[in-house]
Structure 1
Amino acid sequence: MRAFVFPGQGSQAVGMGAALAEASSHARAVFQEVDEALGQNLFRLMTDGPADDLTLTENAQPAIMANAIATLRVLEQEGGVRLSEKADFVAGHSLGEYTALCAAGAIDLATTARLLKLRGRAMQAAVPVGTGGMAALLGATIEQAEAIAAAAAEGEICTVANDNAPGQVVISGNAGAIERAAGLVKEHGVKRAMPLPVSAPFHCPLMQPAADAMEAALAEARIDAPFVPVFANVTAAPVTASDTIRRLLVEQVTGIVRWRESVLAMHAAGVTRFVELGGKVLVPMIKRITPDVDSISVVSMDEIEALLQKI
């Protein structure tokens, strides 16, 4: 069995998509459709920068999605690969869940782009800059991270945001609580806390204003049943019902990204090969979670051609 997975924020880089667009009209069509849906030249920002503007959450989220869907379109249109025939499951990390839903036919490309633009703006606006923070707890188990977050909270918000892989758990919350958590790692047997260069404390209760904005937007968006089950971040379980997808996307804004559990659940369901489209951030995590499975990242035309030989 095979799962196609899609990266989250942090996988953006100036130059992304340029070679793919030069090589394929199908990739160019994806970038053009996203530009038209957003009313901005996002593709030019992706290819030429500046990096600071591309890193803005409202730009990075639709850009990462567009790059992944362009990669998929090349596979489908030029390689003859049909996701409905080749994938048993799809999943994505945080914003990548929207990409997975788009790939599986639940949300059309233009709607996905607009939802992610709004999601990025709403997440950035939810908390004043400097109020919140995030940190990766290196060498921590999920249980250790939860204990550190609980001890550091002291009446503020401090929760686990991302359970990425063994030894890589991210916490999120008020800046003071994150700083206190960093001072507690040694006594909890954790190697160290690494502050993350993020503009807001994602995936924690401080994001509730963004969750409210997404609830309103998703209520108006057309969401169909995906033709491949999508593993949801907040449940680490497959979902196919449209109303459930809507609800879980809202919960995802403030909830934990249960990536480690999602990969383990897909593996337990029989997945023996993971294919990451549009990035190279998930495969290293997958190799740490399930070292016995085959996993491959696909970004360039050469990598697409290599995948076509194996799929």
Structure 2
Amino acid sequence: MSLAFIFPGQGSQNVGMGAELAAAFPAAKDVFDAVDDALGQKLFALMTEGAIEDLTLTENAQPALMACSVAAMQALKAEFGIDITAAKYAAGHSLGEYSALCAAGVIGLQDTAKLLKLRGQAMQDAVAPGIGAMAALLGASPEDAQAAAAAGRKIGVCQVANDNAVGQIVISGEKAAVEAAAQAATDMGVKRAMMLPVSAPFHCDLMAPAAQVMKDALASVTFNAPAVPIVNNVTAQPVTDPVQLKADLVTQVTGQVRWRESVQFMAAQGVTDLAEPGTGKVLTTMLKRITDDLTGHRLDTPEALEAFAAHLKG
């Protein structure tokens, strides 16, 4: 078996996330406490008891998802002797890349929490409500999506934002441009073009103000070499240079999340198992739409961590 850890992005949050991990594992509770301290906010209480509307706010969801992922990793290490070096690679979907970097020792936990709080605020503030939009093109090939986005660009900003899986691609940009691209996709025979209920048009050029905020913030943060290579969103290739990892986090704000290619790369390098620490199973479920050669493991409950540890130790 060859392993990679994959870290989920926004959309995986749910009220109750992390509660079982914190109750079962002191190491996980320590992570949640440290994130609360770093943010000066009772984020863990919001995660476990709050309103979903508040948890879903980008500035809360991003550090919450990271905290849950890192808590699962710390519990694996403390309780079962498994750390990130058991894997050949680590990768994260959008904000999940920060979780991967934290788990791999590139960025400290409290710095990661502060960066994600700021990232969420900056991304939300970059575009006024109603200006931007995103749409999922279901059944579209990468070529279909690029052609649809090109049609949208005749009106305004429109880009491929997320290449998530085979037949699951998301476009992002100005509302009228994305609507035109969605119509173009439908006209070319794409199975379904669906506008998404998002609060901002992520991963497109409209996020340039947020990219500048993150560039300024990251400049003062120390990055270390990762314990394992990070297959990052910008390159879909393994990166170990801390300077490049930092620069690519800035590019990632306006750039495409190349998730399908990242997973395909890891599979081509002999990875057989992908473990998703944190909450939910969004990435694990998505694997089936990318390749049949990988086994996914969701690591979001004490029982799941125990079963995974037994599986890993054979």
Match of 2:224 in 1: 224
- Quick one: distance in 1 between partners of 2:185 and 2:229? 38
Structure 1 gaps, min length 5:
none
What is the correspondence of 1:114-125 to structure 2 with a 5 Å cutoff?
114-125=114-125
C-alpha separation in 2, matches of 1:186 and 1:240: 41
Find the aligned partners of 2:169 and 2:82 in 1 and give their Cα distance.
Answer: 35
| C-alpha displacement of 1:265 | 0.7
**Residue correspondence of structure 1 range 130-145 to structure 2 within 5 A:** 130-145=130-145
Partner of 1:178: 178
2:41 is matched with which residue? 40
Q: Provide Cα deviations, 1:250-272, integer angstroms capped at 9, x if missing partner.
A: 00000000000000111111111
3-state DSSP class of the match of 2:14?
Answer: coil
Partner of 1:283 in structure 2? Answer: 284
Q: Distance in 1 between matches of 2:294 and 2:245?
A: 28
What does the per-residue CA deviation read over 1:64-123, in whole Å, with 9 as the maximum and x for residues that have no partner? Answer: 000011111111001111221x11100000000000000100001000000000000000
Pairing of 1:62-101 with structure 2 (within 5 A): 62-84=63-85, 86-101=86-101
The match for 1:10 is 11
- 1:259 maps to 259
Tell me the CA shift for residue 18 of structure 1.
Answer: 0.9
Alignment deviations for residues 123-152 of structure 1 (CA, whole Å, 9 cap, x no partner)? 000000110000110111111011001012
Alignment of 1:200-279 (within 5 A): 200-279=200-279
Taking the aligned partners of 1:143 and 1:206, their CA distance within structure 2 comes to: 23
Normalised by the size of structure 1, how large is the TM-score?
Answer: 0.98
C-alpha distance in 1 between matches for 2:83 and 2:119:
29
Report the RMSD for the aligned CA atoms in angstroms: 0.8
Structure 1 residue 9 displacement after superposition:
0.2
1:20 deviates by 1.2
C-alpha deviations, 1:43-77, integer Å up to 9, x for none? 00000111111000000000000001111111100
- Report the 3-state secondary structure (helix = DSSP H, G, I; strand = E; otherwise coil) of the residue aligned with 2:184: coil
Q: Aligned equivalents of 2:211 and 2:152: distance in 1? A: 24
What's the secondary structure of 1:183's corresponding residue? helix
Q: Quick one: which amino acid aligns to residue 228 of structure 2?
A: V
Calculate the TM-score normalised by the size of structure 2: 0.97
Cα deviation, residue 15, structure 1: 0.7
Task: Indicate the percent of aligned positions where both proteins have the same amino acid.
Answer: 57
Q: Distance in 2 between matches of 1:291 and 1:135?
A: 26
| Structure 1: distance between partners of 2:186 and 2:149 | 13
Q: Displaced runs of 4+ in structure 1, greater than 3 A?
A: none
Alignment deviations for residues 165-184 of structure 1 (CA, whole Å, 9 cap, x no partner): 00100000001111112222
Query: Which whole-Å CA distance do the structure 2 matches of 1:247 and 1:158 have between them?
Result: 23
SS of the aligned residue for 1:100 comes to helix
Q: Answer yes or no: is 1:55 the counterpart of 2:56.
A: yes
Deviates more, 1:110-119 or 1:16-25: 16-25
Distance of 1:301 and 1:167 partners within structure 2: 33
